[in-house]
Structure 1
């Protein structure tokens, strides 16, 4: 059963990725539809960042993690290189936790 489910999921994933390549010339979406799909993707990413920032399972993650994400957001806004953004966010979170902030 597990092998069958895995094979079905693998074929489905392959077809979902192959479909747009094969149907690109045959299907056209309105500008409004494209915009809605783009906004939906942004909303999904924002929701994932929010839940990953504020919660650890069903519990509040503490203030150190949101502070690190806020520092990363400011660094991205200031166009800091990505590696430095990650180091700043991790360092902020680590220093706050070292200082006793949950």
Structure 2
């Protein structure tokens, strides 16, 4: 059953890719398509971050992950290197959890 689902998913992904390749050039070069194409990746990234930081199962949770995201956001605004942002966010979450704050 799992292999059938895997094969169907793979076939669906391939069909979806083929459908994207068959879109006419006039549709792809339209200004609205360009604007939408630029806006979709940041919106999806924001949604993924929100779900990973604020959700635990089906409930909303405010814990050390929110503080870590805040630290990372401040460092990004200060244009810190990406590795520094990631390490500082992880360290903030680790310290808060070690102290027992924001579980």
TM-score category (smaller protein): 0.7 to 0.9
CA distance in 2: counterparts of 1:92 and 1:63, whole angstroms: 11
SS in 2 for 1:28: helix
Alpha-carbon RMSD across the aligned residues, in angstroms, is 2.3
Superposed CA deviations along residues 37-88 of structure 1, whole A, max 9, x for unmatched, are 4323322321221122122122343332111001111222222222221110
Whether 1:93 aligns to 2:103 is: no
Structure 1 runs not aligned, ≥5 long:
none
Q: TM-score, normalised by structure 1?
A: 0.75
Structure 2 runs not aligned, ≥5 long:
none
Task: Give 1:1-102 correspondences, 5 Å limit.
Answer: 1-20=1-20, 22-23=21-22, 26-29=24-27, 30-102=30-102
Count of matched residue pairs: 100
Q: TM-score, normalised by structure 2?
A: 0.75
Structure 1 window deviating more from structure 2 (92-101 vs 10-19): it is: 10-19
Structure 1 window deviating more from structure 2 (29-38 vs 62-71): it is: 29-38
CA distance in 2: counterparts of 1:90 and 1:9, whole angstroms: 35
